[in-house]
A and B are shown apart, each in its own frame.
Chain A
Amino acid sequence: MSRDEIPPGTLYLLILKTLALRGRLHGFEIADSIQRNSDEILQVEEGSLYPALQRMLIKGWVTAEWGTTAGNRRARYYTLTSDGRKQLAIELSQFERVIGAITRIIQIA
């Protein structure tokens, strides 16, 4: 059951969208959510999740705060900021543009 790697650069898009959908999540939940929502096709390299989250913190697309999980463990919860929402829109339109172009090319019989 090999899972496909996600295309490079789309990790941010996936994280942003996941946070937009689900609101307040911690790192494991984000990874899990992406995996489940993709019907287990997309395998997020969990190593790349955390550096990506750090970068998004620096850029101001998410904010983080410490909270407690259901299992009474301390976890860092990430939420989308307004800048993050803007970034999501930008990334989405960019992604759609690229996919649209690729689709057009491969549809030429």
Chain B
Amino acid sequence: MGYPAEILRRLSMIFHRRQFDRDLQEEMRLHLDLRQQQQVDLGLAPAAARRAAHLKFGNTTRIQEKSRMTWGWESLESLLRDATYGMRAMLRSPALTLVALLSLALGIGANTAIFSLLDAVMLRSLPVKDPHQLVLLGTGDWNGISDGFAITDAYSYPFYRQLQQKNAVFSSTAAIFSMLNEVHGFVLTSSGESRTDSQPINVQLVSGTYFLTLGVEAQRGRVFTDDDNSEGDHPVAVVSNAWWKRSLGSDPNVLDRKLKLGDTVFTIVGVAPPEFFGTKVGEAPDIWVPMSMMKSVPPYWEGYKDNFSVAHLVFGRLKPGITTQQATANVNLLFQQILRGFPDAKLNEENLRKLAKNHVHLTPMATGLSDLRGQFSEPLQILMAVVALVLLIACANIANLLLARSTARARELAVRQALGARRGRIIRQLLTESLLLALAGGALGIGLASVANRLLLHMVSGGQDNIPLDVSLNIRLLLFTLAVTMATALIFGTIPAFRATRLQLTDTLKSGRTPQGAGARSPLARILVISQVALSLVLMIAAGLFLRSLINLTNIDTGFNKENVLRLKIDFSSAGYKNDDPRQIALYNTITERVSALPGVKAASFSSFTFHEGSWNGGITVPGMPVNHEIDVKHNIVQAGYFATMQIPLIAGRGFDPTDTSTSQRVAIVSEHMAKTLFPNGQALGRCYHIGDPKSPYEQLVIGVARDVKFDDLTESPEDIDYLPFFQGNCCLNSFEVRYTGNFATISAAVQQTIHSIDRALPISGITTLDDEVARSITNQRLVAQLSIFFGLLAVFLSSIGIYGLMSYVVSRRTNEIGIRMALGAARSNVRSLILREIALLVAIGIVIGIPVALISNRYVTHMLYGLRGTDPFSFAAATFVLLIVALLAGYIPAHRASRVDPMVALRYE
């Protein structure tokens, strides 16, 4: 009923405040004059009349205030007033304000940056429809192809098709190939030619129902349908928004464009929406291709119709009303049924046992799949705790600052309270000041965070191209920052505010000091400084532990010589060579020979794997040893020069040589551990064994034993590895290693040129050194170590500021006393040690508190450390030492100042 008009009227008051005040004053003046005139007419003298008029009227100031309050903007106005007042107060002491702002900005910025990474990796839901309805079959921790039986983390495509048709609990299901195909393809122009060289394209093979199950619609064109599941005749592709922008220049005619992958030309039928990146966090495929085209996309996987080529991750959208338990039951039932129903199922005792034992677990897929998550979730949580502690330390500094300031303002506050200001009102004003400081710090922090974000992402990516993670600022992040900011304001503002207003008014007004003198502020301030010292110690100890762990890791002997080895990858399949192509075999030899002849090259070789590149593993059967299904031997197919290139010594037997041909006895070299554990009497040399099926006709003769090397990661215990000569195997040789002397860049250029001189079309990628490869495998440990050291030092720095501030204050308060002491004969050094003793006491208490806290908290990180435990005394000692030195230094300056005080000045100091 006229509310909008009322609101408008109220709003207009804000703009016309001054006019309003003037009008009201004029009105009241008129009223008073008229009343005065009335009284004069009644016979009073003018002075008396005036007095009577005023008495009748009341308190004009109060009436004016009441009138203003009816307009309802009182609280907002007082807030603004407090804010302006607070800002002026902050500007009056610029140095303190700057320090406060910086500490806040660093603390809040660090929190936001780490949280943004945490959010992107662990918390954010996939940008699809109703992500909480999606469930994954298995844990998602699967990255390859296997022929195992009753595996529950991945499935074969025919299994998926049957599941799709027979299940009763999913409204839709989809399958993804568990590896990303890194293809070098050609983007064709509209006339069908390629104008440029091949470019790397990441291809994700998906079932026809992929986009439908996720509820993702194309922004242009169409997505796949179930029809795109018939084998081989749907060469279509959906491209990602990022790739469309990057490689096609956002071509509006994208739906007419074609791509050539291997021998096949694919037509682009759709572009995915901008926010959709796929289903795996940290991986962003460039294009999606139907699974039915699996054999046409390099490297031409063959398992599309194979009942037991287990390589696909399967997920589904639950029907409304179906619980996870119901779905699990249904899926497990079908799991048994479908596997048994396959005509080529080998239902022997071993497999039946597996079938009975293994159960499919459904895991929620709202946050998508991720390899990153497993790797980084714990480090990120630890870092989150670290930056939270740093922020607390920063808050303690600011609390001390505000305490100091409010002690200096004691007189002002006493006057205000004596004049009638309510304590709550003053507290509100002080809190507003803190809030202002916090908001300013928060704004700066966001600025810092947006820079730190990119740095963090670079560190997480381990020096290669940035992982496709979206760590930019978003609403959730800003809300988080706001929450942190408010919390810090409350934390560091409340106690000083309460303290400042708990005044004995008379005493304070008289002397400008609180009656307890030097003691009033100090207990709280001292407690704050002690807790800062304790927290800094905890952080420094943790940093020391992580650093030593990292150093231990980098000193691990990998078994091979990782220095001065160039490694690159050649994508033969994309260049048109299929498996077992004799030209490809010839190429291997030619390339190796020519490169080995280059100046500066000591050895070169192709291999399947070098380090941390994955594996091809399986069981073996050794005659004379009991059948063991747990055996998992890692096979590495290599050229003869591999051992020289990697400098892996052979401790027995010989390496591969020209007598080993594709038609001679199949041979193998095994690792020490394999020889010791898998062969009778630990003697492998001269014995034979079968790879995989014991009934297979191929027998490998062991001709040499190599020293153990690290294969997947640095902390593994010795593995069973065997090396097979490449012309007797059939698999892909992905890596090319070159041992060199001299300059990396020169050698790299020379090698690439040589390769291209042999075949121009061979795509080369992944050029790096073996050293970098090894370093990359400990990226998360390095991240934690580097960041915890940075934040540990930051914490110590902030604490030292706190100590400096407190000590300066203490000295200034005791100047009078110091003057008396010196007048009575104390030497300057006595004064210095007086102050230093106080500091030492504070720091000592802090350390004494910090050590047990560190011992407790270290228990949570012990399992992440390598080569030392959470109670490592060296780290404790080092951290304590650093802290002591810094703290004493910080306190020395005020102590020195105290000793230089002129007694005559000090005695007169009030």
Distance to closest chain B CB from A82 (angstroms): 11
Given contacts A27-B27, A74-B30, contact A83 B67 (CB under 8 A): no
A13-21, A56-64, A99-107 - interface stretch: A56-64
Residues of A within 8 A of B56 (CB): 46
Residues of B within 8 A of A47 (CB): 57-59, 62-63, 66
Q: How many A residues, CB 8 Å from partner?
A: 23
Residues of B within 8 A of A48 (CB): 66
Distance to closest chain B CB from A67 (angstroms): 11
Give the CA-CA distance A83 to B9 in the complex, in Å: 15
Residues of B within 8 A of A74 (CB): 26, 30
For the complex, is B889 an interface residue (Cβ under 8 Å from A)?
no
Give the CA-CA distance A37 to B662 in the complex, in Å: 126
For the complex, is B23 an interface residue (Cβ under 8 Å from A)?
yes
For the complex, is B24 an interface residue (Cβ under 8 Å from A)?
yes
Residues of B within 8 A of A57 (CB): 9
Q: Which residue of A lies closest to B59 (CB)?
A: A47
Given contacts A51-B67, A83-B2, contact A46 B31 (CB under 8 A): yes
Residues of B within 8 A of A32 (CB): 38
Pick from B23, B24, B26, B31 the residue with the most CB of A within 10 Å. Answer: B31
Q: Which residue of B lies closest to A69 (CB)?
A: B30
* Contact mask for chain A residues 43-73; partner B; CB cutoff 8 A; 1 contact, 0 none: 0011110110011011110000000010001
Give the CA-CA distance A48 to B84 in the complex, in Å: 31
Would you call A60 and B58 a contact (CB within 8 A)? Answer: no
* Interface members, chain B 391-434 (any A CB < 8 Å): none
Give the CA-CA distance A31 to B58 in the complex, in Å: 13
Residues of A within 8 A of B165 (CB): none
Given contacts A55-B70, A58-B70, contact A50 B6 (CB under 8 A): no
Residues of A within 8 A of B70 (CB): 51, 54-55, 58
For the complex, is B856 an interface residue (Cβ under 8 Å from A)?
no
For the complex, is A85 an interface residue (Cβ under 8 Å from B)?
no
Give the CA-CA distance A27 to B31 in the complex, in Å: 7
* Contact mask for chain B residues 369-383; partner A; CB cutoff 8 A; 1 contact, 0 none: 000000000000000
Residues of B within 8 A of A83 (CB): 2
Would you call B31 and A28 a contact (CB within 8 A)? Answer: yes
Residues of A within 8 A of B72 (CB): 58
Q: Which residue of B lies closest to A43 (CB)?
A: B56
For the complex, is B455 an interface residue (Cβ under 8 Å from A)?
no
* Contact mask for chain B residues 65-87; partner A; CB cutoff 8 A; 1 contact, 0 none: 01101111000000000000000
For the complex, is A24 an interface residue (Cβ under 8 Å from B)?
no
Q: Which residue of B lies closest to A55 (CB)?
A: B70
Residues of B within 8 A of A26 (CB): 27, 30
Number of inter-chain CB pairs below 8 Å: 65
* Contact mask for chain B residues 1-42; partner A; CB cutoff 8 A; 1 contact, 0 none: 010011001100000000000011011101101110010000
Would you call A28 and B35 a contact (CB within 8 A)? Answer: yes
Q: Which residue of A lies closest to B33 (CB)?
A: A73
Secondary structure call for the B interface: helix
**B interface, how many residues as a size bin?**
20 to 34
Would you call A45 and B58 a contact (CB within 8 A)? Answer: yes
Give the CA-CA distance A93 to B758 in the complex, in Å: 106
Distance to closest chain A CB from B66 (angstroms): 4
Given contacts A59-B6, A73-B30, contact A54 B67 (CB under 8 A): yes
Give the CA-CA distance A58 to B56 in the complex, in Å: 26
Give the CA-CA distance A69 to B31 in the complex, in Å: 12
Would you call B9 and A50 a contact (CB within 8 A)? Answer: no
Residues of A within 8 A of B23 (CB): 76
Given contacts A47-B58, A60-B2, contact A54 B30 (CB under 8 A): no
Would you call A58 and B26 a contact (CB within 8 A)? Answer: no
* Contact mask for chain B residues 622-660; partner A; CB cutoff 8 A; 1 contact, 0 none: 000000000000000000000000000000000000000
Give the CA-CA distance A48 to B69 in the complex, in Å: 13
Residues of B within 8 A of A45 (CB): 58
Would you call A76 and B27 a contact (CB within 8 A)? Answer: yes
Given contacts A31-B31, A83-B2, contact A50 B71 (CB under 8 A): no
Given contacts A31-B31, A58-B9, A58-B71, contact A50 B2 (CB under 8 A): no
Given contacts A47-B59, A60-B5, contact A54 B28 (CB under 8 A): no
* Interface members, chain B 66-118 (any A CB < 8 Å): 66-67, 69-72
* Contact mask for chain B residues 713-739; partner A; CB cutoff 8 A; 1 contact, 0 none: 000000000000000000000000000
Residues of A within 8 A of B33 (CB): 73
Residues of B within 8 A of A11 (CB): none
Residues of A within 8 A of B71 (CB): 54, 58
Residues of B within 8 A of A60 (CB): 2, 5-6, 9
Give the CA-CA distance A54 to B20 in the complex, in Å: 11
Residues of A within 8 A of B57 (CB): 46-47
Residues of A within 8 A of B35 (CB): 28, 46
Give the CA-CA distance A73 to B24 in the complex, in Å: 14
For the complex, is A41 an interface residue (Cβ under 8 Å from B)?
no
Would you call A50 and B63 a contact (CB within 8 A)? Answer: yes
Given contacts A58-B9, A83-B2, contact A51 B27 (CB under 8 A): no
Distance to closest chain A CB from B4 (angstroms): 11
Residues of B within 8 A of A55 (CB): 70
Distance to closest chain B CB from A31 (angstroms): 7
Given contacts A55-B70, A60-B5, contact A50 B62 (CB under 8 A): no
Q: Which residue of B lies closest to A76 (CB)?
A: B27
For the complex, is A42 an interface residue (Cβ under 8 Å from B)?
no
Give the CA-CA distance A58 to B70 in the complex, in Å: 8
Give the CA-CA distance A69 to B27 in the complex, in Å: 12
Distance to closest chain A CB from B371 (angstroms): 63
* Contact mask for chain A residues 78-100; partner B; CB cutoff 8 A; 1 contact, 0 none: 00000100000000000000000
4 closest Cβ pairs, A-B complex: A47-B58, A51-B66, A47-B63, A28-B31
Binding site for B on A (CB under 8 A): 26-28, 31-32, 45-48, 50-51, 54-55, 57-60, 69, 73-76, 83
26 A-B residue contacts at CB 8 Å? A27-B30, A27-B31, A28-B34, A31-B31, A45-B58, A46-B31, A46-B35, A46-B56, A46-B58, A47-B58, A47-B62, A50-B27, A50-B67, A51-B66, A51-B67, A51-B69, A54-B24, A54-B70, A55-B70, A58-B10, A58-B70, A59-B6, A73-B30, A75-B27, A75-B30, A76-B23
18 further A-B pairs in the complex, CB-CB below 8 A; given A46-B56, A48-B66, A58-B71: A26-B30, A27-B31, A46-B35, A47-B62, A47-B66, A50-B28, A50-B63, A54-B67, A54-B70, A54-B71, A55-B70, A57-B9, A58-B10, A59-B2, A69-B30, A74-B30, A75-B30, A76-B23
